[in-house]
Structure 1
Amino acid sequence: MLCVMIKYFSKKQTKIVTTFYKLIEIEKGDAITISAAVTKQLELDGLKLGNLIGIGVDGANVMVGAHNSVASFLKAKNNELVIIKCVCHSLHLAAEYAFKLLPRHLDFIIKECHNWFSCSTKRQIAYKQIFETLTDQKPLKIDQLSGTRWLARYNAIVKILEQWDALKIHFGIVKDNERCYMAEQLFQMLSDQTNVLYFTFLSWTLKEIIRVNKLFQSECADPLKLMKDLNLLLFNNLSILVPPMRLQKISINNVVDFKFEDYIMDIELINLGYSFNSKASSLAIKQDELLMVRTRCKDFLVELCRQIQMRIPESMNILEKINSFNPELATSKIRQPEITNIALSFSTICPDLDSTIAEWKSLPRINWINLHDTEKFWVEVANNVDAAGEPRYKNISSLALALLSLPFSNASVERAFSIINVVKNKLRNRLAIHSTDAIMRVRWYLCNLKNGCTDFQPTENMLQYFNSERMYDCKKEEEEVLNAFSEL
């Protein structure tokens, strides 16, 4: 099943909406099958492919490859289509590739500390007694790792670091009493003080990546401010590696193209954070071992910056274009950006280029109210009418709201996967796809109701469909019942 979400500006709700669109059954997962299924479904629903502004996908080659991919097939039919790689996936991959430069046994510690307690209540109780004796608090459950979301390791890293001494005592007792080889291996690794430094470094470095990742997952984040946060993430990591005088010459908006590897400082001058320095001074670690840890942490940061620069330029270019529609810039009488090239790229949305440019230049002449909220500002612009009640800024507002509707992450699709796993589980594995689709549509709608379903008022059309004669008529079930669901 192919799960498709849709993001658009709703004139009825006067806001940008992300909602469940369709579950599409496909025979294979190749690019031809997926693109044909999407195109056919749009045609069946009376939606024109030419009106599709952009698609958000992960970085798989079948989706965004240069040749014979879903993106290339759809691009051939709609040349104005914007292809956006999920920034969240890119950040996960950047951190994963950087982590490969650190010792392999760090990942072993993270995985096996979770596996040790996950299926044994006896071990959990034994460890709980040790932890409560040491701290008078309950132990934290170590998170399970995800195969596709590498940054899920952050929570496990933080919790292992907070319980380091208790875990070491626990594995030390088990290895002596039970002669367990796994416990002995974990005890030796936790006894190695260099691993404490690695975990301290990771907890400090990954924290900022997690923060930016959550911003792109959020449905309420301002897309015009996402570019600044992404730039700051890269800039802050570069400031650790590159001399301040060199970075001052680089604009924060140009850090993606900055060849930083030519200016990396010596390892003695690189500051790896207050927590790292405090741990390093308090632990009895030999100087050559400490130098090795610092060197590998530096390599991690270098690879992280390299991967971010390699994976996000396309998304940055799109975000930079959208940034021109910032309310402060749009209403500026001094430095209003030029949007002719952007308007030309989306001739389907604004076919009348002259009117679009004229509307754009007249925006500073009106005193707008919502200058601090991008979405509300452009809704206000769209609702502005002339003396005859006709929209005064129809073209420019349509262009801006369309660009604000571009999906920069696949977080909503991931949430839909979670709902599907609840709806179609092992006990309901024979549930028909149209039934699953209908249940998904109802659940997604109810999840977005402010007061739940208690205040929901069905229309007369819905009530006509929900009766015993029609609901259990197999010939009309798929057509009429799903028509009732579509009213939602």
Structure 2
Amino acid sequence: MDGAAVMSSDLNGVTGLLHRDNPYTVAVHCVCHRLHLAASQAAKDIPQMKSASLLVDSIYNYVMKSPNRLAEFKAMVDVLGEDYIKLKHVFEIRWLSMGEAIQSVLRNYRALAVYTEEQAAAGDPTAIGLHQQLTSYLPVALLHLLADVLDATNHLSRLFQYRDITFSSLRTQLTECLDSLEAMRQVDGPKLERFRTSVRQSGQFRETPIQMRVGRGGRDPLVELDNIKAVFLERILENLRARFPRVDLLEAMKVFEPAAYPADDNNVALAYWGRRELTTLLDHYAEQKQTRDGNVCEGYIDRYICEGQFGAFKQAVAARFKGEERVDEDGEATFHFYRPTELLQKMFGGRNADNQRIFGEVFKLMCCCLIVLVSNAEAERVFSCQNRIKTKTRTLLGIEQLDRLIRLSYARIPMPEFDFPAAREMYLRAPRRL
């Protein structure tokens, strides 16, 4: 789900209504939405950071929304002998757009500074304002600070948009992101450090003189940058920690992830492995809970039976269901660890269906865990696919037809394998209005 109150509110939102009927429901706020909101809300209440974000929008609007200015800007890039990087727009509904937009401004920085200087000399009032900001120390430094922070959060966002993201990677990747941001409180990120060093040594950045303009109240821009940086990083770290409250429960689900198991020859480690994670899962799914309406719900899982079955389950996974050799496109054979959904199918499906009775409580716990999505990026891909199909000129598409088209698009059938004659015959047989 996203962060809208109608979805996430634990009182009258969808989450709250589900918890009213089933207190064992796990609500997963999309990781990518959380990262986007953490960064945007951390910057929202800091006027200087908000101004830096508006500067990116203003540059895009000034250059990209005028064909004449865009052509002049491209010509300027050619004259300077630099590569033209398309300026990006900031979209509130696109998680990575702010980082991409800032990167495009910084990579075009020299050309933008020269172009706005030229237009300002011709008397363009917008160019005068943009050039003043592009040659002032604080606004440009804040763009570099934002770029460093968004590099860390966008990297994490991209990881959680992978189709095969696993339970065990959630805490690891989140911790690495938090550690990177914590380090920036003590040491500048690479982009901000490069900017500071260049200005300190030559008074310029990428051959553009940087003015140490004093802000309102006579504040020194160097001191103000350090103060803003400290507040911004503190807020974004607080937001990230507050927005990931159930990481322990999701990480505990790695007991159903063969790649997380100890090495094959370490039976002692295997015997102790996963006990803490199993306890975390059973504390949620096996304990009696009470709804806000006073109804008592019995746990889904029998704790004592599940604990007894878990040791044999681990041994079976380690011995027979950890994975298999697979040959890649280059003919190289590599060992493939089963993903949790593959493990469920291999261990409890087909000829191994009897394991559903042998490991009954573990099987139920595994089913409860696998319906929880670590990331809903796949759902967002379906929405994008739907928007590509149901355009403004196709608003009369029915639900069933739209569903079929989405499934066809998502199947990604290679064109050489598509049976066009059969599709033509089906089309000709179907009744149509003339």
- TM surpasses 0.5: yes
Please give the alpha-carbon distance, in whole angstroms, between the structure 2 residues aligned to 1:466 and 1:343. Answer: 54
Please give the alpha-carbon distance, in whole angstroms, between the structure 2 residues aligned to 1:85 and 1:399. Answer: 21
Alignment partner, residue 406 of structure 2: 443
**TM superposition shift of 1:351:** 5.5
Whether 2:177 is the aligned partner of 1:233: answer yes
Q: Please, which of 374, 378, 382 is the counterpart of residue 416 of structure 1?
A: 382
Alignment partner, residue 313 of structure 2: 363
Alignment partner, residue 41 of structure 1: none
- 3-state SS of 1:85 partner: coil
Alignment partner, residue 106 of structure 1: 52
**TM superposition shift of 1:237:** 1.9
Please give the alpha-carbon distance, in whole angstroms, between the structure 1 residues aligned to 2:147 and 2:303. Answer: 50
Please give the alpha-carbon distance, in whole angstroms, between the structure 1 residues aligned to 2:18 and 2:116. Answer: 55
Whether 2:16 is the aligned partner of 1:66: answer no
2:348/2:355 contact within 8 Å kept: no
Q: Please, which of 193, 198, 210 is the counterpart of residue 277 of structure 1?
A: 193
Unpaired runs of 5+ residues, structure 2, are 204-210, 213-218, 287-297, 324-335
Q: Please, which of 169, 172, 176 is the counterpart of residue 117 of structure 2?
A: 172
Please give the alpha-carbon distance, in whole angstroms, between the structure 2 residues aligned to 1:317 and 1:271. Answer: 30
Output aligned runs, 1:324-335, within 5 Å. Answer: 324-327=255-258, 328-329=260-261, 332-335=270-273
Alignment partner, residue 242 of structure 2: 310
1:207-237 deviation per Cα after TM superposition (whole angstroms, max 9, x unaligned): 1100111122221212321221112212332
Alignment partner, residue 87 of structure 1: 31
- 3-state SS of 2:27 partner: strand
Output aligned runs, 1:22-421, within 5 Å. Answer: 57-100=1-44, 101=46, 102-137=48-83, 139-149=84-94, 151-177=96-122, 179-241=123-185, 270-283=186-199, 284=203, 288-314=220-246, 316-327=247-258, 328-329=260-261, 332-337=270-275, 339=278, 342-343=281-282, 345-346=284-285, 356-366=306-316, 367-368=319-320, 369-370=322-323, 372-375=337-340, 376-383=342-349, 392-393=358-359, 395-421=361-387
Unpaired runs of 5+ residues, structure 1, are 1-56, 242-269, 474-488
Instruction: Call closer, same or farther: CA 1:187–1:124 in 2, change over 3 Å.
Output: same
1:173-231 deviation per Cα after TM superposition (whole angstroms, max 9, x unaligned): 12223x22111111111111332322222222211100111122221212321221112
Identical pairs, percent = 21
Q: How many residues align?
A: 380
**TM superposition shift of 1:329:** 4.6
One-letter code aligned to 1:290: L
**TM superposition shift of 1:377:** 4.2
Please give the alpha-carbon distance, in whole angstroms, between the structure 2 residues aligned to 1:96 and 1:388. Answer: 51
Please give the alpha-carbon distance, in whole angstroms, between the structure 2 residues aligned to 1:155 and 1:390. Answer: 48
Instruction: Call closer, same or farther: CA 1:151–1:442 in 2, change over 3 Å.
Output: closer
1:240-277 deviation per Cα after TM superposition (whole angstroms, max 9, x unaligned): 44xxxxxxxxxxxxxxxxxxxxxxxxxxxx21134423
Please give the alpha-carbon distance, in whole angstroms, between the structure 1 residues aligned to 2:339 and 2:98. Answer: 34
**TM superposition shift of 1:166:** 0.6
One-letter code aligned to 2:52: L
Instruction: Call closer, same or farther: CA 1:440–1:342 in 2, change over 3 Å.
Output: same
**TM superposition shift of 1:85:** 1.4
1:385/1:391 contact within 8 Å kept: no
1:318-367 deviation per Cα after TM superposition (whole angstroms, max 9, x unaligned): 32332344434588123331525634744799656655433321034341
Instruction: Call closer, same or farther: CA 1:237–1:471 in 2, change over 3 Å.
Output: same
1:350/1:356 contact within 8 Å kept: no
One-letter code aligned to 2:376: N
One-letter code aligned to 1:236: S
Please give the alpha-carbon distance, in whole angstroms, between the structure 2 residues aligned to 1:428 and 1:176. Answer: 49
Instruction: Call closer, same or farther: CA 1:69–1:384 in 2, change over 3 Å.
Output: same
CA RMSD of aligned residues (A): 3.5
Instruction: Call closer, same or farther: CA 1:444–1:427 in 2, change over 3 Å.
Output: same
One-letter code aligned to 1:282: S
1:350/1:396 contact within 8 Å kept: no
**TM superposition shift of 1:412:** 2.8
Please give the alpha-carbon distance, in whole angstroms, between the structure 2 residues aligned to 1:363 and 1:401. Answer: 14
One-letter code aligned to 2:275: P
Instruction: Call closer, same or farther: CA 1:121–1:344 in 2, change over 3 Å.
Output: same
Q: Please, which of 406, 417, 432 is the counterpart of residue 454 of structure 1?
A: 417
Please give the alpha-carbon distance, in whole angstroms, between the structure 1 residues aligned to 2:384 and 2:408. Answer: 15
